[in-house]
């Protein structure tokens, strides 16, 4: 009882006089009102970031990014203890006796789906067993169009999961699946991008993982009865904020060549009927021979309206909150916070993570961008017909350009 009272008094004292986190507009916190604090983690190569957190044990200041701690995501009732022996032991004792275990937002807390589970099974044989790759259907909204047309907008996010909770989002793919009234369907991958930060256990593992995810989606739509699927062939604005221009360009070239590799391999293996380059700068993949009719399987996955539904919202959330993917540690922190917003919600112009008076973010009633009604009307007028293409007996898939690696490797 005396120990419990001591813990309660200690917790109350800390809560009253301590300022848990600080954002100081480029300046670091001071020690005893004089010297600027130095983060022990990045002492030799200081990070340029003004988000700080104080250890509840030794009162040392740390960059939130260096220790992957954020008061909004972990909860204000969770105290932070650094990894020095004394603080770690004290923190473990108090967490076991009086404090709930800290809740690290991870990809495992995102709802599972039939599509995500299928892609996880496809990528598992080529990914690390100690850091498995989890694919989650981060957003899914169904739109009813004219003439019985139904459009499903989906966003797939791939994470490299670790037991410590420092998940890393490594790939984002935006998809639009159009189902016609007669049961035929066409899928369009509107945008796909990677950040090149996957932590490999051997050379070439990253390419195998990303190849498996893209090919897994191709297999999924083929088994579901889709008539065709299109992929973008040109690079666009990156889906991950903070990448240097040269790195973003290299990542775009890498992704484009990877898509061409997957399509060429799928054509040679007989998974797809043909691959044709379209004038508007995309690849049309004919899954079945012309004239072959197949009714698409019913949709199994539930709807989820999150910030990941729209490419604009996905990027705006990163820019507004300064979530960056220019280095591995920053990317892990940003991934942690994006997962938190996927679970709890996000709204534009919300108070920053470091605002003391800001309450938890409110889940907005609408965070995704609805497809325009004109696009649905065009799909209805287009009908179930598949674009006619000329099929040749030889491999008509485009040659993949020489692979370009990332210009900057993570620390």
Mean pLDDT by 10 residues, the chain (411 residues): 43 41 53 68 76 81 81 70 71 48 74 94 95 95 91 96 83 95 92 93 94 96 93 81 87 88 92 88 86 81 89 93 89 90 77 44 37 40 37 40 38 33
Residue 61's pLDDT is 85
Tokens of 295: 């009714």
Nearest to 22 by CA among 51, 65, 60: 51
Q: Are 53 and 77 in contact (CB under 8 A)?
A: no
What integer pLDDT is reported at residue 34 of this predicted model? 52
Query: Which residues, 6 or more positions from 132, have their beta carbon under 8 angstroms from its beta carbon?
Result: 120, 124, 160, 161
Maximum Cα interatomic distance, the chain, rounded to a whole number of Å = 83
| Contact in structure between 76 and 33 (CB atoms under 8 Å) | no
**How much is the pLDDT for 38?**
82
pLDDT for position 321? 86
- Closest by CA position to 136, among listed 117, 153, 123: 117
* Distance separating alpha carbons of residues 305 and 140, to the nearest angstrom: 6
Measured CA to CA, the distance from residue 164 to residue 178 in angstroms comes to 39
What is the rounded CA–CA span in Å between residue 258 and residue 171? 13
Q: Quick one: pLDDT at residue 28?
A: 58
> How far is the CA of 265 from the CAs of 112, 166, 207, 256, 259, in angstroms?
29, 34, 14, 14, 10
- What's the gap between Cα 58 and its chain centre? 35
Alpha-carbon gap, residue 275 to 366, rounded angstroms? 37
């Amino acid at each position: 009882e005396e120990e419990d009272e001591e813990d309660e008094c200690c917790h109350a004292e800390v809560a009253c006089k301590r300022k848990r986190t600080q954002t100081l507009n480029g300046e670091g916190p001071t020690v005893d009102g004089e010297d600027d604090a130095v983060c022990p983690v990045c002492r030799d190569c200081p990070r340029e970031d003004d988000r700080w957190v104080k250890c509840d044990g030794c009162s040392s200041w740390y960059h939130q990014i260096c220790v992957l701690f954020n008061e909004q995501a972990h909860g204000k009732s969770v105290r932070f203890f650094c990894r020095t022996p004394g603080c770690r032991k004290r923190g473990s004792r108090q967490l076991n006796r009086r404090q709930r275990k800290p809740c690290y937002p991870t990809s495992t807390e995102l709802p599972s789906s039939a599509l995500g589970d299928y892609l996880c099974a496809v990528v598992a044989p080529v990914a690390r067993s100690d850091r498995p790759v989890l694919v989650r259907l981060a957003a899914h909204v169904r739109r009813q169009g004219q003439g019985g047309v139904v459009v499903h907008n989906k966003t797939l996010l791939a994470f490299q999961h670790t037991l410590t909770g420092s998940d890393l989002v490594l790939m984002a793919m935006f998809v639009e699946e159009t189902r016609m009234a007669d049961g035929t369907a066409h899928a369009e991958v509107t945008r796909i991008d990677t950040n090149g930060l996957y932590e490999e256990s051997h050379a070439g593992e990253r390419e195998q993982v990303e190849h498996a995810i893209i090919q897994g989606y191709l297999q999924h739509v083929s088994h579901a009865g889709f008539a065709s699927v299109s992929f973008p062939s040109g690079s666009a604005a990156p889906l991950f904020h903070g990448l240097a221009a040269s790195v973003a360009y290299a990542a775009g070239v890498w992704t484009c060549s990877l898509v061409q590799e997957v399509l060429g391999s799928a054509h040679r293996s007989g998974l797809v009927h043909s691959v044709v380059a379209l004038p508007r700068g995309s690849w049309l993949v004919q899954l079945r021979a012309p004239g072959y009719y197949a009714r698409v399987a019913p949709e199994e996955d539930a709807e989820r309206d999150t910030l990941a539904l729209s490419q604009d919202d996905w990027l705006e959330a990163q820019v507004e909150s300064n979530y960056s993917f220019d280095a591995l540690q920053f990317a892990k922190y940003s991934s942690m916070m994006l997962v938190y917003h996927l679970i709890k919600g996000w709204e534009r112009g919300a108070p920053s993570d470091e605002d003391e008076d800001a309450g938890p973010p409110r889940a907005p009633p609408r965070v995704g961008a609805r497809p325009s009604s004109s696009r649905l009307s065009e799909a209805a007028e287009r009908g179930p017909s598949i674009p006619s293409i000329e099929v040749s007996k030889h491999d008509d898939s485009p040659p993949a350009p020489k692979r370009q690696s990332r210009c900057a490797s993570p620390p």
